[in-house]
Amino acid sequence: PADAVRHGVGYLPGDRKAGIVPDQSMAVNVALASLPALSRFGWCDHRAVKRAADDARRRLGIKCHSTTQPIRTLSGGNQQKALVARWLLSGVSVLLVDEPTQGVDIGARAEIHDHLRRFASTGGTVVFASSDLDEVLVLADRVLVLRKGEVGAELVLEQCPGLDRAALLALITGLSREPEHGDQPPPDREGVRV
């Protein structure tokens, strides 16, 4: 993990409980990947950590009574936003995300999507895996469908304007194939072309 961070890669696990330190404060959890930058002479600068956490709380809309509140007492969506804030604060350029919004409410889901899009729009790269096909269609620019340990299809969503959940599911299950360059893709049952 330390090598990955040094090379500008952050990771949000599919199970957010594996990413948080539950009994530590929201501030400490946000600052974990940035402790060297928030330390002076090898000692953690608690004021710098608090400033960074207050800024993350404001920018990402993390709802908590105080940044000193144990992160385990926050809702799942706010815990996930704190994990996103951790990597945004650290300055990584690549963010690997497994199941970005699993177990969060619809409001937090939209906010997390916005933060990931904003990160990508400022030059960052987000690589995510999701079992939620609606999330894939809303969030992804490019989709790699993995089937039997290999890439079964690669889609640039901008070039697939009619792609919907059913067509994507057909590609995943192998009931449909990715159109080859120059092919006219076959319509699915509802007439949507992939």
**Which secondary structure element, helix H or strand E, spans residue 63, and what is its range?**
none
Number of neighbours of residue 38 by Cβ within 10 angstroms: 19
Beta carbons of 184 and 161 less than 8 angstroms apart:
no
* CA 89 centroid distance within chain: 15
CA distance linking residue 116 with residue 81, whole number of Å? 10
Which residue's entry shows tokens 């960052």?
124
pLDDT digits (tens, 9 = 90+) for 22-81: 999 999 999 999 988 898 888 999 999 999 999 999 999 999 999 999 999 999 999 999
pLDDT band at 166 (very low <50, low <70, confident <90, very high): very high
